[in-house]
A and B are shown apart, each in its own frame.
Chain A
Amino acid sequence: MSGAQIDLSAVNDDSVDSGVAFGGELLAFTNAVMARDAAAIVKTRDAVEGRLGAEGVTDAAAVIAMFNVVDRIADATGIPIDEGFTRDMRYAIGDELGMGHLSPEERAIR
């Protein structure tokens, strides 16, 4: 990617520094939107705006909205993980995040 070192465990653990610029602010905003916590949304949105500008808020909101689409389509249609490099990468990331129990193969036979 960019050569930057990132810590994937930050995706599931707020105490971990992801290594991504202003990652803490972005994750806190994401948490607040997903939790539908109005007060937290205002507070964390201000923090994102302070670091990344008003456009940063818009772009973060757009990504949050888009992945609520992607995740639900994947879950509701039972698509498999793509083959090749993407498959290896997804499973490696899934294992690191402790999400192996949600693999499409297991959901397909449940």
Chain B
Amino acid sequence: MSQIDYSSSKYPIRKDLSDSHQRMLESFSRSGTWWTGAERRAIASEARAARDCGLCAERKAALSPFALDGEHAGPGELAREIVDVIHRIVTDPARLARSWYDRVMAQGLLNEERYVELVSVTVLINSLDVFARAIGIQPAPLPAPTAGSPSRERPATARTEGAWVSQIPAGAEGGEDWAALYGDRDEVPQIGRALSLVPAEVAMLDALSGPHYMNLAHVGDPSYTEPGRALDRLQMELVAARVSAINECFY
């Protein structure tokens, strides 16, 4: 099994942080809810390659992200249309639009459950590599895929609300599905609900949030900072805001 190894880093990596990265790394090659371990690993491999894709660079510079067609640079283990989705999420996320999402669904290669899980794997491997780049170490190799079948369990209460994808409705309407993910909380920020069609991916996001930033339950309290951090809340928010500005993300 491939291991996260920060021993060569000159910067001290908190155990909660390295543990969350190990959990993430292992998840990329393990069977998920809608994709097998081999497929999840292929998604992660493709997402990793997208950063150096020439077609993506050309598209990013183009007036319209849909004006250019071509072949993406990458391992290409997945269907061409799915590869395109992965590359767009990594390299040009701010120009994704509802009409694009509808076209992706109309292609029939992805349903919304598989799409949500693909989004999760894609963005998580990207973040792992961003962290490695920031502290000056090589990205961890992906583990070999493990056997197993996707559970294919869709939350019974999931429905379309304000997002493009279905979500578990808040509070009592979400019933046991909501309680299993969010306990007795009445409200959860949209970012904490975005992946709720695939609860295992919400659990992963939740596990990452605390070590990287703060537990999602505390985000609404502007005076809160996780104990033991070298950055105060203002410093963290300044960095976060700059990242979002560069990514052109309104949220």
Using a CB–CB cutoff of 8 Å, the interface residues on chain A facing chain B are 1-2, 4, 6, 8, 10-12, 18, 20-23, 26-27, 29-31, 33-34, 36, 41-42, 45, 49, 52-82, 86, 90, 93-94, 97, 99, 102-104, 107-110
Contacts and interface: CB of A to CB of B under 8 A. Distances in A.
Interface string B176-196: 000000000000011101110
Given A60-B231, A63-B240, A82 B189 contact: yes
**Interface size range of chain B in the complex:** 35 or more
B131 A73 contact: no
A68 B243 contact: yes
B54 to A, nearest CB: 15
A107 B97 contact: yes
5 contacts: A1-B233, A20-B235, A45-B135, A73-B195, A102-B248
Interface in B176-232: 189-191, 193-195, 205, 208-209, 211-213, 220, 222-223, 229-232
7 nearest CB pairs, A to B? A78-B164, A61-B134, A74-B251, A71-B249, A66-B212, A110-B97, A55-B230
Contacts of A69: 123-124, 126-127, 205, 208
A75 B96 contact: yes
